[in-house]
Every structure is written in structure tokens, then in C-alpha cells.
């Protein structure tokens, strides 16, 4: 599996992602620039990653301008053909703006930027990103000011019915409780996927938890699940 990591103006987690995938997980990584369009080096067995940061300074709305980058037109086509796409933090916001995922990411409920370790739990046994990590609490860092997942009630019910919720915020014991929700996300949602289970979005940063030097390798388990279930 090859990974392509897209850099937008204002991306600041692109090299974190590249280093994590290339050096900690031993994967082939191709660096992609937002003004380019060529994804011919990738097949639908590969994965394109939209990293975190503040694309275009988060003007208008987070991800609203990046959605129109030339590379994003190719990413949309790639996803529609069945290729895997992961958006982390700002990348999640871009996927929602591009219409590849439903809903939106709003300002945190406390109206403050939050940067800390949180716990996530997945009960999704069908998505390749989560298949191998279900039922356990994973410690993954967050760093965002607009991470509160929002969708109307009908969309939330559809996400639940279609098993599209990837991760929920939980406590260290895996209990999905309001106290463990760091941003006010509806139904404690930390990550979702599309109906075809090839487009994934999550606010927490698994690439910041893949190295023993950081005292946390839970993020490796998430990426490894994707690789193992390719």
C-alpha cells in the first residue's frame, strides 16, 4: 500500500504524517502538492491522506478554500472510484467541505483551542481503519479549535444505521460518557466514514502516537488496521 500525503498552504501536520507512515510504519509515502493533479501513481488499493493544520489560514471556514485546490478534484475522483482517503483534523474538515463526508466541524463548545490526549473507542467492525481496534480505548492526541462534529438528526441517525461512525470519545476505561467529550461533538463522534467505507475522517491525530519516544503507539494500531485490511 502506498500513501500520498497532500500539503496545502497552512498544513502543519504533513511532515508528522509523512514521518509516521514512512519511518514508524515502514510504508511507501509520496508527497503531494495541492496545486498538482496527478494521482496516476496510485491505485484504489492505495491511500491519499489529507493532514491537519490550517489550510489557507482557515479563512471563510476550515477547509472551505482547500476543497477547491486542483489536487482535491483528483482526490474526489479517486475516492469515487473506490480509492481510500483519510482526512485527519483539518483534513476531516476538508472532506466534509468537499462533500465526501456528511456533516460539519464547528467551533469547540468551550470556544477554546484544545490540545491534549484523549481516549477513543470504535465499535465499527466493518471499516478497514477500525476493524482491528474495536472494543478498546485508544489514547490519541487532539489539537483543534473547530472539532465539534455536527449534523442534523436525520444524518446522525443515518450514520448510526449504516454503521458509519468510526470513533467516539470515551474515558480511559472505554465508557462513552459526556465527561470524555473534549469539544461537544454530537453523540461523542470523533470520526466517521462514507457509506462505501473508503473515505475516513477523524479529528484526533493518530500520526502523533506512533513512536515509543512519544510514550504512545496507539496510533500505529489504527494505521496498521488499514494496512492489514487492504
Whole-model pTM?
0.97
Domain limits at 158?
A: 2-228
Task: Tell me how far apart the alpha carbons of residues 155 and 102 are, in angstroms, rounded to a whole number.
Answer: 8
Confidence of residue 198 (pLDDT cuts 50, 70, 90): very high
Give mean pLDDT, residues 42-70.
95
The 10s digit of each residue's pLDDT in 6-52 is 999 999 999 999 999 999 999 999 999 999 999 999 999 999 999 99
| Percent of the chain predicted with pLDDT > 90 | 98
Question: Whole-angstrom Cα distance, residue 124 to residue 101?
Answer: 17
Residue 3 scores a pLDDT above 90 = yes
Number of domains in the chain: 1
Number of residues assigned to the chain: 230
Q: Please say if the pLDDT value at position 83 is more than 90.
A: yes
Task: From 103, 51, 7, 44, select the one nearest 207 (Cα to Cα).
Answer: 51
pLDDT-based confidence at residue 59 (cuts at 50, 70, 90) = confident
pLDDT of 163-181, one tens digit each?
Answer: 999 999 999 999 999 999 9
Q: What is the pLDDT of residue 60?
A: 85
Active-site residue numbers? 89, 205, 207
Separation CA 124–CA 148 (nearest Å): 20
Output the pLDDT for position 25.
98
Instruction: Tell me the backbone φ, ψ of residue 204, rounded to 5 degrees.
Output: -65, 160
Amino acid at each position: 500500500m502506498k500513501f500520498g500525503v497532500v500539503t496545502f498552504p497552512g498544513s502543519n501536520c504533513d511532515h508528522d504524517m509523512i514521518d509516521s507512515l514512512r519511518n514508524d510504519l515502514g510504508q511507501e509515502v509520496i508527497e503531494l502538492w495541492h496545486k498538482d493533479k496527478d494521482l496516476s501513481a496510485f491505485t484504489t488499493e492505495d491511500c491519499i491522506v489529507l493532514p491537519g493544520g490550517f489550510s489557507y489560514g482557515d479563512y471563510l471556514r476550515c477547509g472551505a478554500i482547500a476543497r477547491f485546490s486542483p489536487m482535491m478534484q483528483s482526490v474526489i475522483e479517486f475516492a469515487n472510484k473506490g480509492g481510500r482517503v483519510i482526512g485527519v483534523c483539518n483534513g476531516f474538515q476538508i472532506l466534509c467541505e468537499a462533500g465526501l463526508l456528511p456533516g460539519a466541524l464547528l467551533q469547540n463548545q468551550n470556544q477554546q483551542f484544545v490540545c491534549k490526549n484523549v481516549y477513543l473507542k470504535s465499535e465499527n467492525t466493518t471499516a478497514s481503519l477500525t476493524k482491528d481496534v474495536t472494543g478498546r480505548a485508544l489514547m490519541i492526541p487532539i489539537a483543534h479549535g473547530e472539532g465539534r462534529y455536527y449534523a442534523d438528526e436525520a444524518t446522525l441517525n443515518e450514520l448510526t444505521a449504516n454503521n458509519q461512525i468510526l470513533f467516539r470519545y470515551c474515558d480511559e476505561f472505554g465508557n462513552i460518557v459526556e465527561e470524555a467529550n473534549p469539544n461537544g461533538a454530537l453523540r461523542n463522534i470523533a470520526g466517521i466514514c462514507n457509506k462505501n467505507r473508503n473515505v475516513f475522517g477523524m479529528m484526533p491525530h493518530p500520526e502523533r502516537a506512533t513512536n515509543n519516544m512519544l510514550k504512545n503507539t496507539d496510533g500505529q494500531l489504527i494505521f496498521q488496521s488499514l494496512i492489514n485490511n487492504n
